[in-house]
Amino acid sequence: MNREDFPILRQQVHKQPLVYLDNAATSQKPQQVLDAIVEAYSTWNSNIHRGVHHLSQVATMHHEEARKAVAQFINAREPEEIVFTKGTTDAINALAFSIGELLLHEGDEVIVSGLEHHSNIVPWQMVCARKKAVLRHIPLKEDLSLDIEAFKGMLSEKTKLVSVAQVSNVLGTIQPVKEIIALAHEKHIPVCIDGAQSVPHMKVDVQDLDCDFLAFSGHKMYGPTGIGVLYGKREWLEQLPPHEGGGEMINHVRWSGTTYNELPYKFEAGTPNFVGSYGLQKAIEYMEQVGLEAIEKHERELTEYCERRLGELEGVNVYAAGRPKVGVISFNISPNPLIPSSTNPFIHPFDIGTLLDQQGVAVRTGHHCAEPLIDELGVPGTVRVSFGLYNDKNDIDLFIEALQKAQMMLS
The H or E element containing residue 287 is helix 274-290
The H or E element containing residue 134 is strand 134-138
What local confidence, expressed as pLDDT, does residue 254 receive?
87
| Sheet of strand 82-85, all strands in order from the earlier edge strand to the far edge | 82-85, 228-232, 213-217, 191-194, 159-165, 109-113, 134-138
State the DSSP string of 325-374: BSSEEEEEEPPPTT-TT---SS--HHHHHHHHHHTTEE-EEE-TT-HHHH
Q: Which of 128, 192, 211, 369 is catalytic?
A: 369
Which residues contact residue 85 at a Cβ distance below 8 angstroms, ignoring those fewer than 6 apart?
91, 94, 215, 227, 228, 229, 230
First to last CA, the chain: 37
Low-confidence ranges of the chain (pLDDT < 70): 1, 337-344
> 369 catalytic, yes or no?
yes
What local confidence, expressed as pLDDT, does residue 389 receive?
97
Residue 393: HSE in the Cβ half-sphere, 13 Å Cα cutoff? 7
What local confidence, expressed as pLDDT, does residue 294 receive?
96
What local confidence, expressed as pLDDT, does residue 157 receive?
96
Share of residues in the chain with pLDDT > 90 (%): 90
pLDDT tens for each residue of 57-81: 999 999 999 999 999 999 999 999 9
Rounded Cα distance between 277 and 251, Å, is: 23
- Burial of residue 391 (CB within 10 Å: 0-12, 13-18, 19+) is buried
What local confidence, expressed as pLDDT, does residue 344 receive?
62
Phi then psi for residue 194, to 5 deg, are -80, 110
Phi then psi for residue 364, to 5 deg, are -115, 140
Structural domains for the chain: 31-289 (3.40.640.10), 292-409 (3.90.1150.10)
What local confidence, expressed as pLDDT, does residue 248 receive?
83
